[in-house]
Structure formats: structure tokens, C-alpha cells
Structure 1
Amino acid sequence: MTDVDRSPTGSLEGLDLSLKESYRGKGVLLTGGTGFLGTALVEKTLRSLPELGRLYLLIRSGSKSAQERFEKDLLASPAFQALREEKGDAFLDYARQKVRVVAGDTSREGLGLSERDREELSENVDVVIHSAASVMFDAPLDAAVASNVRGTLALLHLARGWKKRPLFVHISTAYVAGKRAGLIREEPPRESTPNASFLDPDRELAHLDAVVREVEETARRKSFETDEAREEWKTERLVARGNERAQEYGWHDVYTFTKSLAERLVLKERGEVPVVIVRPAIIESSLAEPYPGWIVGTKMADPIIMAFARGILREFPGNPESLIDIVPVDHVVNATLAAGALRPEEPEVFQVASGQRNPLRYRDLYEYVRGYFLDNPLRDSGGRPLQPHEWTFPGSRAVERRLRLEMLGLKAAGALVQRLPEGHLALDLRQKLSRAEKRSQLSLYFSRIYGGYANMASTFASERTTALYEALPESERREFPFDIGLMDWEGWLWGAHLPALTTRPDRKKRRRSMEKPKKTAAIFDVDGTLIDSNVVSYFAWLKLRELPKAVRPFWLAAFLLKAPYYWALDKVSRTHFNRRFYRNYRGWRPERARQLGAESFAAFTLARVHPEALAQLRRHKEAGHEVVLLSGALDFILAPLGDLADDVVSAKLQEEGGVYTGELSGVPVAGDARARMLASYARRNDLDLSKSYAYADSISDFPMLEAVGYPVAVNPDGRLEKAARERGWQIRTWGREQNGVSTPVEIKSLAL
């Protein structure tokens, strides 16, 4: 590694840095390798740094071993397609040779490492890149502290005793600046908070622990109808207390607060370990690598963009002149690798940000996004184009005040409509009021979560990051680019990012199998296709089974009040909906969930299975096809359906301490992610998708249907029906007989 001896704000002028030489024969430990940034770091390291000695990945075991998660989940990502094509049949062997998977968990004492693994890391790791974190703005206080603070300190304390005294690269966020105005320098955190009050990080951590204990003790003393109600109350209080404390000091939320606390404690407790802090701004889809527009899940700016495109968000709760500081993920990857090649005597800070060198303002983003959706509109349930509204920028306070008044008015109007005599007029008014209420609830949610970031008066400096880039030889600047000054915002948005959010990536151009697949598959969506039900209905059924009969009507009434919010969230993003809705399972015990799932088959599922679906499934089996159920529903609900198919691919919840955390293990099985999972599954199981069938009911399943040779829209929603008719796909109605005869779907090339 390159030794540098200078102050943290000193000049990098004269630094001569080669990444290929710096990493030659070295060992790197990476946490968070299965996340968005972590996946990109693994891919770039394997593809562009073959000189690296060994990449150690700390991966948590769950329903799969750490090694299985690496090989079957991480390496199956489309991000690795270029490397897979380059290496051909040797791809997996190359990855296994370069990567050593270490089973561990930053939330456990000693990271849960075995003695053998701890000794190996001590002897071989030259650089630690700590990327694992909780990035939720509204995480419960205990979860945010455990992930962002205690997990970071546990890793640092371990590395501090290793033989090689490795460099500790801490991935933070530029938004640790909080609500400070002006130019935010690339320097270690001050002793003061964003609102200029003093902060002792050790005392603050002890205070936060006391807050968590206080909330837990209050939850134990209070009377609740069920344990789940107790957990829900506790979670809501911990979310509120965390954000209250953050805003008291001048941070936006518990995420930026705990990330800043982690920075302070890393610098205080680093001992002799050299430290580099990398602070990215908002990380979005890639500019060029692993391919333009590569993204996993939904990032910070994306829900607002999609809500605008769908006509749900009609005004913006921010200042049009404020900067929105976005950086593509590949820039962050390359800057992190460059920072990891240093070995400073004093802590270094690098901000991977765009505001200083290549500013993008909210009004610019609005114009680019509006122009794109005017030319490439989304479509409503009837297939009609959705024209984006012209936005106004009244500010977050004005937006929230108007929305609260609007919701009060809608509530009063709803009470009046309930008194009208039944008929078409009353029904029409109720539907209009329901749509307006859903739109207002979602707008208020966006305003509260993102309003602070849309009114910032700060600019993140990036001179040192630019100097780091310029220290690379010219050939490596081309191979590891992160000069944000060269970024063309309109070109990236129109050519990569917005298409990635709204359309299926052209996987056929990137996917090239070394052997021709031999098998044909029939892929069935479950909810709405195989079964006349959905994840909300299943949850309600399971939950009601756990409640006393006297309590059930009250719980159901309270749950129905949340339905408009979930409906609106689903319209914006099925992925966002799944992540949010499955938090309802927080605190459930897996063994009880599996028991209820088994009970649901006879008591709930069987009556809702479409007979036509079973008949069609049987025809595929008789034809020798692989039958796969691919669903965003949870594994314990779908387990009883396993006998119907050759395989079931479903969503899973993370477990911790013998209970579900409410967070999904991996990416939600929805939208483009579902199509990517299908492509990965086909590669692993030797399937030919061009000869395969897929059955689904929702427009969110469109990418999956488009990926196969014979797509079938079953009981389609309006948008999917429109798209299916335009493309000449088969459309079938299951669950209702047509002239007394249930019509099967023709299986091409087969004589049944």
C-alpha cells in the first residue's frame, strides 16, 4: 500500500497511486458484500483487480449457508454477466479461488467468527472495507444503533488486534453533515453537532441505550391485547425517539445521526489502525459498470420519481434551487478502491459527491424527469398514458400543512357520503374520495421522509476526492473512473437510470450461455394467478388466527385503516410495498409462522385455488416441463404448495434471536428483480426461457412475462391486459367458466 504522511486536510498533490500495484497480493475484507454497493465492489474487484491476493467476504448465514448465499445469490446477479462471459466455464472456479467467504454477523460478539477464521483474517487482511449498514431513514433506534454503530465498532475492535494493522475504510454518508449550511469540507467530524451543541459519543451511546431500555420497560408494563401489538407499539416509539433525538441535534433522521456517531467513535477508538472515511452522497444506478443503469431495489430518489410519473405526487416539498447530490454506484466503487490503496498516518476523509463540481438542482432534475415521461409515459390501468403534472415547489411545510387540511376535509366528506342513499352516485363519490385519500397519505409520507433532504443549504466539497482520482495513472483513470465533473446528467437519466426504473433491462444482449439450455419450464405466479388471494389477505388470515375472537373485529377495523396507504404504495412500487408490508411480521416466531402456513392450506388456500390453474399445471407436468412457482409471497405460506411443483422460489424474512426481524432476506421478488431471479434460476437449472411459459396477473409481472417465449396473462389487471393485447400474448380468465367450459391454454409444440 501507499504510505502518506500529511494532515487530514493536507494536499494530495504529488501522490503517485496505482491500484493494480497497490492491491497486488493483498488481502481485503469486505462487509455488506450482498448489498447494492457491496455487490458492485465485489464485481469490480474480481473483474479489474485480478492481482488481488484474496477477497474475504463476511456474509451472514440464514436459511442458506454463507457460501451458498455467495454462489447462488450474489454471483447469480446480472452484475456479474460481463465477468461470467469473460471467464466462461471457469467463472465459478475463478470466483472461488479469489473469494474466501467467512460466515459471520456484525451484530454478534466477535462478529460470530470461528477461531480459525479470526486467525486467518488476522494474518492475511491488509484492508477492511466496512460497507454493511442500515440505510433506513425511519429505522427503530435499537436497530439503527446496532447496525450502524455497534456493528462498526465490533469490526474495528477486532481489526485493531490483527497482525497486519489493516487499513480501516469506513463507508459513511455525506449527509452526516446534517442541517449545516454552506460548504461541507472533507474533514473528520467536529466535536459539535450540526446545530453547534457539544456531543460526547460515548455518553450519547449510553444515553441511546437508556432510551431503548426505557421504551422496552414501558412496553412491558403497558397493557396490550396481543404480543404483536406490544411489539408494534415499541417499534413505533423507537422510530419516533430515534428521529426526535437526531433532529434535536440537527440531523435529518436516525440514519444520518447514527452514521455520524459511528464516524466519531471510529476515530476515537481506532488506536494505531489507519482510517479512511468515504462519504458518498445519494448512490443511484451505474453510469457504465457493470452495465449502464444497473441497480438493485429502489434508492432514495426513485420513489419520488415514480410517484411523479404516476401522477400521485403533484407538488414537491422542497426548494427548486437546492442541490440533489447524486452519484452513480460505479463512481463510489472506484473511489472506495482508490481510497483503500492509501495508508495514512492520520485519518483521511473523501466525499464522493457532485454538488461542488457538477451541481444538479431539483428544478433541473424535475425538467429532465418530466421531459422523459412526456416522451415515455407510464400507463394507467386502462392502458392510457399518464401525463406528468407540472410541479409547484411550495416547500415542505406548506405541502404538509395543505395535506393535513386536505385529509381533514376528505374525512369530513367521507362521513357525509356515508349518509347518502345507496346508489351509483354514492359509490362513485366513495371511490373518488378513496383515491384522493390514498394520494394524500402517500404525499404526506414522502414529504416527511424526504422533505429535509430537499431543502438543504449545504454543498459537499470533493476536492480531495478529485485529487485522489488525478493521482491515478492515465490508464487507471480510464479503467477506474470517478471524475464527477464529466457526468452528463440528462444523458445518464434518459439513457440509463429512468429506463432502468421503468423498463426491463435488455438481458438478452448481456446474457450468453456457454451451453444451450435443454429444458422447458412453466413458471406460475401464485397470488392472483394460481390462487385468488394476495399477501395482505394471507397476513390478515394468519393474524386473526392468533387473536381471541372478541378482539378480531377491532384489530381488523384498525388494519383496514392502513389499506389505502398500502394500496398507494403498491401503485408506486411493488418492491417498496413488499419491504414495508412485511414489517408486519416483525417479532413472529418462525416455527409458529410455519405452523400457521401449513394450517392455511386447508382452511384458506384450497377454496381459492383456480381449478383451471391446477389443470394447466398438470398438463405441463405431463409434457415433461419443469413447473416452478415464482412468487413474492413468503416461504412459510407457499410451503404447502410445494407438492404441486418441481420448485418454489419465494420471499424469505430475516431471522434474529429466534424471531423474524420484519426485513426481507434479499431483494423483493417483484418487477425487474423477479425477471432477474428467473434469468438466474434458468442459468443454474439449464432452462431455455425462449421455449418456456409464464403465467401472471399483474403489470408488475410484465418483465417476467416478457422474458419467456410463451407468456400468458391470467385474469390480468387493466395495464397488463392492454400490454398483452398489443403484443399478441394469450389472455386467459381462470376462476370463471366461459359458456360452461373452462378453456385451457394451448401448449405449443405439444400434442396433449
Structure 2
Amino acid sequence: MTHEPAPPHAPTPEPALAPEAGLSLTTEHVFVTGGTGFVGQAIIERLLISHPGTRITVLVRGKGSKTPAERLTGILRKPVFARWREQLGDEAARTEFARRVTAHEGSLSDVGTLPDDIDVVLHSASTVSFDPPIDEAFETNVGGATGLYGALLASGSDPHVVHISTAYVGGIRKGVAPEASLTHEVDWRAEHDAALSARVRVELESRQPEALRRHLGTAKAQHGKAGPQQVARLAETARTEWVRERLVDYGRMRAESLGWTDVYTLTKAFAERAAEELWAQSGHRLSVVRPSIIESALHHPFPGWIDGFKVADPLIIAYGRGQLKDFPGLPDSVLDIIPVDFVVNAALAAAARPAVAGEPEYFQVVSGTTNPLPFHRMYENVNEYFTANPLPDEKGDIAVPLWRFPGGEKVERVLARRERQVEHAERIVERLPTTPRTRRWLDTVGKNKRGLGRLRAFAELYRAYVQTEIIFDDANTRALLASLPEDVRKGEGFDVTEIDWEHYFQGIHLPAVTTLTRAFGKRPPARERSERALPVRDDVVAVFDLEGTVLGANLVQQYLQLWSRTVPRGRAAHDLADLVLSGRRYWRAERRDRGEFIRTFMRRYEGFKVAEIEREVQGRFGRAMRRAALPEALERVAQHRAAGHRTILVTGTIDLMAAPFAPLFDEVVAGRMHQRDGVLTGYLADPPLVDEARAAWLRRYAEQNGLDLSASYGYGDSHADLVWLDLLGNPSAVNPDVQLSRHARQKKWAVLDWRRRARPSTPAAVPDDQRVTLKDGA
């Protein structure tokens, strides 16, 4: 692979600066925002290791039970400080850190009262999302800037502020972006106020009857079987998700309508304007540092240091996983990447350089002008790396796709067509009978749907970076570098011409980011996990549903078994025809609500004699039901009993029908039917114990019997079982319907296929003090 030729435009010559203009910080009091973030950590580390006379105050808020001081001390364990800890020793490093670094409690929205002796401010805090809701973006980036500069003005300090922004603040444009104040006439204060009020408007819109009716109707149609409270929760979840998506769309469209790529770059541009107007125009010193896409370190604190995935990394990993078949990038656009240590070194060099009050300076820390990286060259590096070092999955090594860069419009057309195809396939599969095969089909459709969603999200998020035709001027930054003493340039420089992109990607960056994912590459799905042992405990319950889980027959099949043995011949044809004609009504009731179906179907038992049913249960019907039991279910029950667990069969059907299984469990909990003079009336004596009613019963049962639900087990097959299964620490979806299967996959539950087959011999009894092997990942 060869290097690209130099770009046709020549870099702007840097203005001459005296070498002595750029020295190091000595005894300054440095105030840092964003100190727990990627760039902030690196700034603190570099101050500690290269500027030993400085004092550092870090803006940090408490989080959970941790105080600001505890959070700040906690970052000392991060890899970025490993070299410094090794030099001093752990104990000495902790002592030195405590002596030089102080936490200032506060946040960007409430900075608090600042010290009056601050010499330098390094403001690196900002939102970490590139597509957040509009109010969150403005509150953090713009509100944070106004809060900081207001607090500085009130403090009496007169520091040199280094405001760390982004090179992409110029918006949607082509050609050279200068190192200068942005040229726009947008009223950033008005935009800030409108953005913060957007949530109120959208929240009100989301609470209108029409919107609530839509969310509730969708939740009821999809999750009605899980119970009314679950429907309400899911409807509210859908409403809040709609609010967030709406606010994200607000931000995206407002940014584009004003000429910016996204709400992140828009708010960073407004934050710069706030710094200029509130700080520089008040007669204070301001330097604006604009890095491009910040990625792992080239040299310091060690090659490849990175703190989690950064801007380009999700795209890189998705490609390595084979999830992006093509991408709408321009192959000859410049992907402007800069190592994090270059950004930190440039920011500290700017901080140490004497600045003129009221005259802001701008430094674009970029690579695209002096050492450009075309997008196709980046792709070639990534393709070469993952071809030689493929990521693993449960099927083996992943083969990465070849991108042909067909253009954004063609990729969009293909993406839209595939999205329609997947939606159509999903609707078809959801209407098929639930079998292991249809669940595999649904998994495949779901995987394809997620992949298309990922491609759609990446295309929208990264288009500004992989389709850009902007070249960022860096004359001021190169002049700043040239002004540094030679020894500083060597150890703390930011000369992008020294970056060999092939070496950087192949030997440094890609190994660093893949290290974050490789540990999870070969993790098998739940149903394929290795054998695990059931712990012997007496405070654990194993709850089994009946139909579809223990019994390979549903309520209709049970009824037909009993009906065929008890119905008079004269009624047989009439009853059978009525059952067939009522099938659609029963199907609709089952889809809406499991309890409604049970109530509706059990009316068919009107006129059945209790004594006759009991005789059949003890005779042929009972034997037929036991033959219909799923062998693996009975084996699992025996394993739980051998481990000392309390086993309970809970069913929405009536106790008469569950009686054949009573000897197999410690307890059977079932409904009852109303009877008059020994004859069933067709009405239930109690509400059916399904969905949320079963969950409420299980909570109370556990409290009364001292059972630990977080260590207990549950086995169900229907979406109606979701609520009570969610209460248990070890839920399993057995022969699940489509909705429960989807939920189980998302939650990483065990998914078990128990089928009827030749009955095995009865398992031998296992002593109570021995552990029992449990298979299938439950």
C-alpha cells in the first residue's frame, strides 16, 4: 500500500513566531472541565507528568453514592495514569495526586463559586453524543459555556481560557475552512431559549389524547396478553421514546436548516460564539482549539491508549463484524483524524503561550491539510486489518465485505428497498405457527432488521465526516508548533507529518479498538451455554406453566379429549360445529388477553358433571394427559426437586384438569369453576391466575414463604408469562410464542425447545446434598 500524493492545494504558510513564545506551564493554577472524559483525563495526566509545578482544579459532580472527590480520585486507576503511577509508585502517586489535584463540586449547568486565583482554564467538557435531543445538546454545550464564563466573570479570576471545540463548527460547506472566528448571523441566545423550551412543547404534544390513544392501541395490540399494567408501562415507554426521537429530529432539522451538519456541531459553534462574546469581548484572553476526529494516542501516554469507542470506532467495529455491506461515503473525501495526544499537546501549548486580551486566537488541530487521509485509504487499511485479523463469532471468523462506494443515492435506494422487504418478512413470520423453525426465521429477520437500522443510523451520523469536501487550514497550529523549543517539539509536539497512517491503523489504533470487543466475540447464545449446576437451596422456587411448557396440549386439546369421552352422541355434531364456528372468536380473545380467552372458552364446560370429570381424570383422560407431558419438562422438575427447590405448577386452567400432574410437583396452583349441584355452570369461581395476577401471587407467595425470587427459576411459553418470568433471576422461555421469544432474546434468557418424544426412563433419585447438572443454559 502506498501513500497518497500531496493534495493539490498547498498548506498556508504559518506566521512566524519567536521560539521562546511557546514554553511550558510552571506554577499556574489550572481549572479543567470534562476531567473524567477522554480528552480531560489526558490533559490531567499530561499536566501531572510534564508540568509538575501546576495546581489542578477539576469541575466534577457527584454520581450515585460517590462524591465528586471520590469520582476524581477514581480516575487515577485508569490506564492513562499507568505510566505516571509506575514512575512514582502507587502510594507516592496517590499522595501527589491528592496534593496537586482538587475537585470542585459542580456541573456545567451549575458551576458554583470559582476560586479567584485561576490562571488557566482548559474547557473540554461537552456532550458525548453527536445526535442528542436538541435540549440536551444546547443545555450541555451552549448552557455549559455560558455557565462557565458567567462563573469566571463572577470569580474575579482573569485566566487564559483554552476553549476546546471541534474543527467541524463551520457547518456544511466546501473548500478551505480558516482558523478564524465563524462567520454567521444566527442569534445563538434565541436558539438556546427555543431549544430548551422544545421539550415542554413536545411533552405536551405527546400527552394529547390522539397521541396517547395511538401508543396505547399499539401496546395493547402487541402486548395485551401480558396484562393491563404491562400495557400501560409499554405505552408510556413508547411515549417517552417518541419524545426523544422527536427532539432528536428537532435538533437534526434545525441544524440543517441553519447550515450545520448536526446539532452537535451547531451547539459547538454557538459555544464558541458565547466564549467570544462573554469572555473575549469582556477584555479577557481566549484561545479556541478545534480538533478534528479524535482517536487513540500515537505516542503518549502509550501508543493506542483510548478510553472507550470514539467517533470512528463504532463504524470500524461494525465493518469488522460484517454488519455493513456497503457505505455511502465519498472515496476521495478526506477523513480528518487526529491522535488524542496531539490534541492535548496543542491545547497545553496554546495555554502556555502569552495571549492578547480581547483578541481570540484559533488553532485547528487537524491532519487533512498537511497529511491527508482519503476515505478510501482508511477503508483499505480497515479491510486489510480485519482480513488478516478477523473478529470471531459463534460460527467462526467473520469475513468482511468489500465496499464499492456506489454513491449515496444508490445506497439509499437499496437500503429503503431492503427495509421494506424485512418489514414484510417480519409480518409474515409473526403470523405463522410458533415452531423452532419459525423462531429461527424470526431471529434471522430480526438480525437483518437490526443490521439495516445500524446502517441507516451510521449513514445519517457519519455522512458529514465521510462525504465532506472541507479542508481545514492549520497555519496557526503549525506556527504554534514551530514556536516550541526543539526538546518540547520532540516530546510534546503535534506534527501530523510524522503520522504514517498505515502504521497508525494497522499497528496502533485498530488493535486498540478491537481489544475492547474481542473478549465477547465467541460468547455462545444462551441455549448453547455449557452445562451448569443447580445449587442445592431450600429458599428457591421453580415455577412451571402448564400448557405448552409441561403439557404438550393446549386448553382446546384438553377440552376435546374430555369432551370426546363424555358428550352424548346426539350432541356431538352440534358441539363440534359450534367449536369450529367459534374458533375465530377464541383466537381473537387469546390475542387480546389470556384471561379473556380462558373465561370465554371455559363456558363450553357448562353442564359437565364434576363426578364424571373426576372419574375421567383418574382414568383414561388422566393417562392421556400424562402421556402428553413433555419429557424434558418432567426431567427438569425432577432436577429441581432433587436440588431441594420448591416446585410449583401454576396454571390458568381449572384444578380438575391439572390434577393428573399434582404428584409431580410440591404444589399445584390452579383456578376453579363454579358448580351447582355437582354440575359446572360454565363460570369461573376465581379470576384466572395469568399474566399480572400470577406475578402478584408470586410476589406474595415468596414473601410469605421466605423465598428468594432473584435466585429462583421460571418456565413459561407465552407472552402472557412475561411479567411473572421477569420477577425471577433465572427465567426460561419454553417453546415460546413470537413475542416472548423476541423478549427472551433481548434479555438473554434461556430459550428451550421441549418436544414430545419417546418417554425416557424415570430419573434416579439424587441425594439432597448433591448438586444436579442442568443443561440447555437455564
**TM-score (ref. length: structure 2):** 0.62
Give the Å deviation of 1:344.
2.4
Give the Å deviation of 1:454.
1.4
Determine which of 120, 129, 136 is the counterpart of 1:127: 120
1:420 and 1:332, CA in 2 relative to 1: closer, same or farther beyond 3 A? same
Aligned to 2:510: 498
Aligned to 2:190: 203
Kindly provide the CA deviation profile for residues 14-48 of structure 1, in whole angstroms up to 9, marking residues without a partner as x: 33346655x21111100000000000111111011
The 3-state SS of whatever aligns with 2:77 is: coil
The 3-state SS of whatever aligns with 1:112 is: coil
1:604 and 1:400, CA in 2 relative to 1: closer, same or farther beyond 3 A? farther
What does residue range 477-516 of structure 1 map to in structure 2 within 5 Å? 477-503=489-515
Quick one: which amino acid aligns to residue 206 of structure 1?
A: D
Give the Å deviation of 1:442.
1.5
Does the CA-based 8 Å contact 1:173-1:259 persist in structure 2?
yes
Matched, 1:171 2:164: yes
Give the Å deviation of 1:80.
0.7
Give the Å deviation of 1:603.
7.5
1:242 and 1:602, CA in 2 relative to 1: closer, same or farther beyond 3 A? farther
Determine which of 343, 355, 359 is the counterpart of 2:372: 359
Matched, 1:395 2:407: yes
Mapped to 2, the partners of 1:531 and 1:368 lie a distance apart of 46
Determine which of 342, 355, 361 is the counterpart of 1:348: 361
Aligned to 1:441: 453
Matched, 1:15 2:26: no
Aligned to 1:65: 67
1:415 and 1:159, CA in 2 relative to 1: closer, same or farther beyond 3 A? closer
Matched, 1:306 2:317: yes
Quick one: which amino acid aligns to residue 400 of structure 1?
A: E
Matched, 1:43 2:54: no
Does the CA-based 8 Å contact 1:152-1:262 persist in structure 2?
yes
The 3-state SS of whatever aligns with 1:29 is: strand
* Total equivalences in the alignment: 521
Does the CA-based 8 Å contact 1:186-1:349 persist in structure 2?
yes
Kindly provide the CA deviation profile for residues 597-654 of structure 1, in whole angstroms up to 9, marking residues without a partner as x: x99x9675222499xxxxxxxxxxxxxxxxxxxxxxxxxx99x99xxxxxxxxxxxxx
Quick one: which amino acid aligns to residue 167 of structure 1?
A: H
Matched, 1:410 2:435: no
Matched, 1:267 2:267: no
1:497 and 1:272, CA in 2 relative to 1: closer, same or farther beyond 3 A? same
Does the CA-based 8 Å contact 1:165-1:272 persist in structure 2?
no
Does the CA-based 8 Å contact 2:22-2:483 persist in structure 1?
no
Aligned to 2:563: none
Matched, 1:256 2:243: no
The 3-state SS of whatever aligns with 2:19 is: coil
Mapped to 2, the partners of 1:555 and 1:367 lie a distance apart of 55
Mapped to 1, the partners of 2:238 and 2:421 lie a distance apart of 30
What does residue range 77-476 of structure 1 map to in structure 2 within 5 Å? 77-88=78-89, 89-108=91-110, 111-113=111-113, 118=114, 121-122=115-116, 124-190=117-183, 192=184, 198-221=185-208, 224=212, 225=232, 228-270=237-279, 271-342=282-353, 343-345=355-357, 346-382=359-395, 384-417=396-429, 426=438, 429-476=441-488
Aligned to 1:654: none
Mapped to 1, the partners of 2:161 and 2:496 lie a distance apart of 25
Does the CA-based 8 Å contact 2:109-2:143 persist in structure 1?
yes
Mapped to 1, the partners of 2:332 and 2:205 lie a distance apart of 44
1:87 and 1:425, CA in 2 relative to 1: closer, same or farther beyond 3 A? closer
The 3-state SS of whatever aligns with 1:279 is: strand
The 3-state SS of whatever aligns with 2:712 is: helix
Mapped to 2, the partners of 1:253 and 1:247 lie a distance apart of 7
Which is further off, 222-231 or 349-358? 222-231
1:416 and 1:25, CA in 2 relative to 1: closer, same or farther beyond 3 A? closer
Quick one: which amino acid aligns to residue 378 of structure 1?
A: L
Give the Å deviation of 1:504.
6.5
Quick one: which amino acid aligns to residue 17 of structure 2?
A: G
The 3-state SS of whatever aligns with 2:168 is: helix
The 3-state SS of whatever aligns with 1:14 is: coil
Unaligned runs of 5+ in 2: 1-11, 213-231, 519-525, 535-589, 595-698, 716-725, 731-744, 751-765
Give the Å deviation of 1:234.
2.3
Does the CA-based 8 Å contact 2:15-2:475 persist in structure 1?
no
The 3-state SS of whatever aligns with 1:75 is: helix
Give the Å deviation of 1:414.
3.6
Mapped to 1, the partners of 2:347 and 2:592 lie a distance apart of 52
Mapped to 2, the partners of 1:128 and 1:261 lie a distance apart of 19
Matched, 1:606 2:615: no
1:609 and 1:292, CA in 2 relative to 1: closer, same or farther beyond 3 A? farther
Does the CA-based 8 Å contact 2:338-2:366 persist in structure 1?
yes
The 3-state SS of whatever aligns with 1:318 is: coil
Mapped to 2, the partners of 1:437 and 1:162 lie a distance apart of 54
1:213 and 1:743, CA in 2 relative to 1: closer, same or farther beyond 3 A? closer
Does the CA-based 8 Å contact 1:156-1:168 persist in structure 2?
no
Unaligned runs of 5+ in 1: 1-8, 193-197, 507-524, 533-551, 557-594, 611-636, 642-697, 699-714, 716-735, 745-752
The 3-state SS of whatever aligns with 1:266 is: helix
Give the Å deviation of 1:214.
2.4
Quick one: which amino acid aligns to residue 283 of structure 1?
A: I
Give the Å deviation of 1:439.
1.9
Quick one: which amino acid aligns to residue 406 of structure 1?
A: R
Does the CA-based 8 Å contact 1:28-1:129 persist in structure 2?
yes
1:423 and 1:241, CA in 2 relative to 1: closer, same or farther beyond 3 A? closer
Does the CA-based 8 Å contact 2:289-2:347 persist in structure 1?
yes
The 3-state SS of whatever aligns with 1:478 is: helix
Does the CA-based 8 Å contact 2:22-2:480 persist in structure 1?
no
Does the CA-based 8 Å contact 1:286-1:295 persist in structure 2?
yes
Quick one: which amino acid aligns to residue 67 of structure 1?
A: A
1:238 and 1:322, CA in 2 relative to 1: closer, same or farther beyond 3 A? same
Give the Å deviation of 1:421.
6.8
Mapped to 2, the partners of 1:422 and 1:182 lie a distance apart of 57
What does residue range 721-736 of structure 1 map to in structure 2 within 5 Å? none
1:103 and 1:490, CA in 2 relative to 1: closer, same or farther beyond 3 A? same
1:95 and 1:221, CA in 2 relative to 1: closer, same or farther beyond 3 A? same
Aligned to 1:34: 36
Does the CA-based 8 Å contact 2:112-2:151 persist in structure 1?
no
Which is further off, 601-610 or 160-169? 601-610
Does the CA-based 8 Å contact 2:13-2:475 persist in structure 1?
no
The 3-state SS of whatever aligns with 1:451 is: helix
Kindly provide the CA deviation profile for residues 703-734 of structure 1, in whole angstroms up to 9, marking residues without a partner as x: xxxxxxxxxxxx9xxxxxxxxxxxxxxxxxxx
Mapped to 2, the partners of 1:160 and 1:376 lie a distance apart of 53
What does residue range 522-537 of structure 1 map to in structure 2 within 5 Å? none
Give the Å deviation of 1:451.
2.1
Q: Over aligned residues, Cα RMSD in angstroms?
A: 3.8
1:467 and 1:324, CA in 2 relative to 1: closer, same or farther beyond 3 A? same
Aligned to 1:688: none
